[in-house]
């Protein structure tokens, strides 16, 4: 029983991983105007980090920017500390996907999945709070945690059943 179940379990493990990928609509481009705008801003953040361009990065942040990480949400990472930390991420390329933008007037809540490229680091689920300052948007708060599949109360019932393109 145990022996005969082993291949099945391993196969199912693969299928479970696969099912998580299937759950996301394939080849999802972004089409709302705000998704386009903020996907471009997030790409600027990624590019500035990859290029170690601190001046470009700082220009995208509010003065009191902070990071709240999922494993220690009660301990904010302040702006200077975060800048110091991401400075070590030179040449770290990322792919951001599955954007959603909630327009809250002078704030925009931008959520997406960030997948490191060419590395075995895990994907992250990020929620960025962008603040309108004059004509520009600046990143005020970043909430980040693992994008690994975990049981979340209330989640899992509304995954797309119909493949569609935007």
Partner 1 sequence: MRQRALSILVTALISAGISSAACAAVVNGAQGNNGNNGNNDSELVPTGKGWGERPANFQGNNGNANGQAGRNNKASGNGINYHGGPLMLGNAPGANGSTNNIYYIWYGNWTGNSALTILTDFANNIGGSPYFNINSSYYDGSGKTVPNAVHYAGQTNDKYSQGSVLNDSQVQSVVASAINSGSLPKDPAGVYFVLTSSDVNESSGFCTQYCGWHTHGTIGGIDVKYSFVGNPDRCPSACAAQTTSPNGNAGADGMASIIAHELSEAVTDPDLNAWYDTRGYENADKCAWNFGATQTANGAKWNVALGTRDYLIQQNWVNASGGYCALKY
In the complex, the smallest distance separating the C-beta of residue 93 from partner 1, rounded to whole angstroms, is 9
Nearer to partner 1 by C-beta: 66 or 100? 100
In whole angstroms, what is the distance from residue 136 CA to residue 154 CA?
36
In the complex, the smallest distance separating the C-beta of residue 72 from partner 1, rounded to whole angstroms, is 28
When asked if residue 36 is in the footprint of partner 1 (CB under 8 A), the reply is yes
Question: Binding segment for partner 1 among 26-34, 50-58, 130-138, 146-154 (CB under 8 A)?
Answer: 26-34
In the complex, the smallest distance separating the C-beta of residue 17 from partner 1, rounded to whole angstroms, is 6
- Output DSSP code: residue 120: -
Whether 46 contacts 120, CB under 8 Å: no
Long-range contacts for 102-110 (Cβ within 8 Å, ≥24 apart)? Answer: 103/34, 105/132, 106/131, 106/132, 107/131, 107/132, 107/140, 108/34, 108/38, 108/132, 108/137, 110/38, 110/42
When asked if residue 27 is in the footprint of partner 1 (CB under 8 A), the reply is yes
Q: In 10 A of CB 133, how many CB atoms?
A: 12
∠12-158-148 over CA atoms, to 5°?
50
Question: Binding segment for partner 1 among 90-98, 121-129, 131-139, 145-153 (CB under 8 A)?
Answer: 90-98
When asked if residue 165 is in the footprint of partner 1 (CB under 8 A), the reply is yes
The binding site for partner 1 (CB under 8 A) comprises 3-4, 6-8, 10-11, 13-15, 17-18, 21-22, 24, 26-36, 39, 43, 46, 94-97, 99-103, 115, 158, 160-166
């Amino acid at each position: 029983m145990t022996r005969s179940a082993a291949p099945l379990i391993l196969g199912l493990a693969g299928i479970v991983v696969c099912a998580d990928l299937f759950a996301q609509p394939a080849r999802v481009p972004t089409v709302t105007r705000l998704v386009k705008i903020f996907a471009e801003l997030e790409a600027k953040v990624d590019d500035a980090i990859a290029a170690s361009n601190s001046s470009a990065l700082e220009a995208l942040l509010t003065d009191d920017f902070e990071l709240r990480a999922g494993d220690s949400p009660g301990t904010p990472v302040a702006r200077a500390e975060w800048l110091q930390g991401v400075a070590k991420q030179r040449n770290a390329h990322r792919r951001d996907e599955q954007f959603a933008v909630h327009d809250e007037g002078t704030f925009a809540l931008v959520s997406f999945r960030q997948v490191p490229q060419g590395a075995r680091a895990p994907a992250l689920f990020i929620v960025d709070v962008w603040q309108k300052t004059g004509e520009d948007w600046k990143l005020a708060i970043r909430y980040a945690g693992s994008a690994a599949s975990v049981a979340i109360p209330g989640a899992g019932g509304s995954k797309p059943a119909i493949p569609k393109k935007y």
